[in-house]
Amino acid sequence: MDKSELIKYWIDTSEQDYNTMLNLYKSKDYHWSLFLGHLVIEKLLKAIFVMNVDKNPPRVHDLLRLADISEIKTTEEQKDTLDLITTFNISARYPDYKRNFYKKCNQEFTSSNIEKIKELRIWLLSLIGKK
């Protein structure tokens, strides 16, 4: 794949995950919706990495690290949000964290964080030139 095809790949798969995130939220699978929210942001960051740095994004899931190496300027609030969303990846996947995370993921907690994911998504798409 050339660079533009890779960028499109990351954007398209992020969009699919975004729709899945919303469907999981509607079905009240809150912890999985937040896990997918992490993937939405991770894939957009990887699109930006391809756009700004190199064709091969690193195999990392730390969103703040991805933003930094993708040469994105972030505010302190965005950094905090990226760090928070990164925890959704770990918490939803590993059994020792999963149970506590599952209990925390009520409608209010999930809704609030879905809004943060939506805001980051819009901002990242604007950096790519998509809206």
pLDDT per position as a tens digit, 65-102: 999 999 999 999 999 999 999 999 876 566 666 678 88
3-class SS of residue 17: helix
Both tokens of 98, joined, read 């999963």
Q: How confident is the model at residue 1 (pLDDT cuts 50, 70, 90)?
A: confident
- How far does the chain reach from its first CA to its final CA, in angstroms? 24
Place of tokens 């964080």: 113
- Among 13, 100, 6, 21, smallest CA distance to 54 is for 6
Statement: residue 12 has pLDDT above 90: yes
Per-residue confidence (pLDDT) for residue 89, from 0 to 100: 87
Summarised one tens digit per residue, pLDDT across range 29-77 is: 999 999 999 999 999 999 999 999 988 888 999 999 999 999 999 999 9
* Alpha carbons 110 and 27: distance in angstroms, whole number: 12
* Alpha carbons 11 and 47: distance in angstroms, whole number: 6
Per-residue confidence (pLDDT) for residue 97, from 0 to 100: 64
Per-residue confidence (pLDDT) for residue 116, from 0 to 100: 98
Per-residue confidence (pLDDT) for residue 100, from 0 to 100: 80
